[in-house]
Structure 1
Amino acid sequence: MRIVACLNGDRRPGSHPALPISVGQLVEDARTAVAAGATELHIHPHDATGAQSLEPQVLTPLLLELRAVLPKTPISVTTSLSAEPDAWRRFDMVQRWGELPDSATVNLHEPGSVEIARLLIDRRVGVEAGLWSVDAARILAASGLVSGFTHVLVEPEGATAGEALGNAERIDAVLDHAEIELPRLLHGKDDTVWAVLDTAIASGRDVRIGLEDTLTGPEGEEVESNAALVEMAVARMAAMA
């Protein structure tokens, strides 16, 4: 089972005392998260101002530093429009990437998602389909690119755990109907994280955890770090085994 540590996401600097933003912070956080049990990393690169960036000059040094410390750990990066709101600028940036990540997530509900997925596939980067909704699952099914994707991230929208899990079931139904057999990772956001994580573990799915998805533990307590979140997830997996 994959345990993906999602280290920072689109959270603003200062939203948590341990949120990693700089290259140095991300490298150290990645090291401790892997030591705690994470098998893969998912990262949103940030520039010197603390803003998200997909520029090659931001991504390349980050990947080089991470691979120097964790040469065997797969690294995924975002292509979210939260990092670059202009879909055409995003395409240009990804096209100019020199050092390539092992994989990249593509949110299929976003404008230009199919084009960015095709570009990544052509560049031999693994592509993870981010599915927030039933419509996004339908876009994946109709894209003609399913064979080029490596994984599906079922990231169900919902204000409550019940709403999120119900949405996840509907997304799964679309994938099943389309006979999409890609490995599926299931994760929640903020208030839905722990219930969705437990459901993913119980169903034998890949999981992810980190400060991108939640700043609190299962009882609502503030957590110390990404490594602490990974440790909590690993403990829950052991308890449910």
Structure 2
Amino acid sequence: MVQVCLNGRRGAADGSMIPLSPQALAESAAEAFAAGATDVHVHPKTPCGQDSLSPRVVAATLIAIRARVPVPVGVTTGAWAEPDPAARLRQVLDWTVLPDHASVNWHEPGAEELAAALLRLGVGVEAGIWSGTDGAARFARSPLGPRALRVLAEVTDPDPATAEESARALLAGLGGAHGRPVLLHGEDGGAWPVLRLAARLGLATRIGLEDTLLLPDGRRAVSNGQLVAEGLRRDEPGP
């Protein structure tokens, strides 16, 4: 599985190719699907470009993307979109249009309660386990672990020289991951080395403008579709 991560926390300052509006996100998702993406991860944005868990913002984004692609669509629930755990939970419970899945960062306050609420709503939970946090240890103790859709193993090391080592350490720390499938990905300079490692290990992975703005040869990417196409050639030697 190759998931496309359309935008992440990036905004207009990162370049005009970053999709922000529901319409731009839908168009970008369609291009990524045509290039071979089989799943979508998106950060719904307010008109001013801020990540939001607002029911109105989430609904508009999901409706627009689903009108263009026939694959599962998931959203973030990152604490940066709403730092207060109680307020974040209330917003999620008020969603009028539900995503197929949502990522829950297990090191963030309120992760267990949020994941439990999503499961009650019938939304798949991607357990976000970041390197450099206690997320793996918390997830190992979680009674919700076996009910997760998959583990989103996020390598936060941006150094291309050490990202693969960091990824292997993260995977080792996950242990059996409650027997759940693992999607492994990196970010910035570590995105392509970690993606190639995921391919060698036979793991699901993701690529998109959230994770990197650059192609493997260092050129600036022009779209999510271009990144997905390059990602599907991940077995080729890197630069």
Using structure 2 for the length normalisation, give the TM-score: 0.94
Change (3 A) 1:169 1:53: same
Aligned to 2:229: 231
SS at match of 2:192: helix
Change (3 A) 1:183 1:25: same
Aligned to 2:75: 77
- After the TM superposition, which residues 119-198 of structure 1 pair with which residues of structure 2 at under 5 Å, given as runs? 119-133=117-131, 135-176=134-175, 180-198=178-196
SS at match of 1:30: helix
Aligned to 2:36: 37
Aligned to 2:16: 17
Distance 2:96 2:188 in 1: 34
Instruction: Tell me if the contact between 2:129 and 2:135 (Cα under 8 Å) persists in the aligned partners.
Output: yes
Identity value in percent: 41
Aligned to 2:60: 61
Distance 1:159 1:229 in 2: 17
2:92 paired with 1:94: yes
Change (3 A) 1:179 1:30: closer
Aligned to 2:209: 211
Instruction: Tell me if the contact between 1:5 and 1:42 (Cα under 8 Å) persists in the aligned partners.
Output: yes
* One-letter identity of the residue aligned with 1:83: A
Residue by residue over 1:147-184, the C-alpha shift from the partner in whole angstroms, topping out at 9 and shown as x without a partner, is 210100111232423543333323322332x5621111
SS at match of 2:233: helix
* One-letter identity of the residue aligned with 1:43: V
Distance 1:117 1:192 in 2: 28
**C-alpha root-mean-square deviation of aligned residues, in Å?**
1.7
Deviates more, 1:2-11 or 1:132-141: 132-141
Structure 2 spans left out of the alignment, 5+ residues: none
Distance 1:196 1:175 in 2: 16
Residue by residue over 1:212-237, the C-alpha shift from the partner in whole angstroms, topping out at 9 and shown as x without a partner, is 00001112111111110011011224
Size of the alignment, in residue pairs? 237
Distance 2:235 2:29 in 1: 20
* One-letter identity of the residue aligned with 1:224: V
SS at match of 1:198: helix
Instruction: Tell me if the contact between 1:16 and 1:215 (Cα under 8 Å) persists in the aligned partners.
Output: no
Q: CA deviation at 1:239?
A: 7.8
Residue by residue over 1:66-98, the C-alpha shift from the partner in whole angstroms, topping out at 9 and shown as x without a partner, is 22222x210010000122222221111001011
* One-letter identity of the residue aligned with 1:118: A
Distance 2:123 2:236 in 1: 32
Deviates more, 1:85-94 or 1:184-193: 85-94
Distance 2:197 2:178 in 1: 20
SS at match of 1:208: strand
Using structure 1 for the length normalisation, give the TM-score: 0.93
Change (3 A) 1:99 1:175: same
Q: CA deviation at 1:63?
A: 1.1
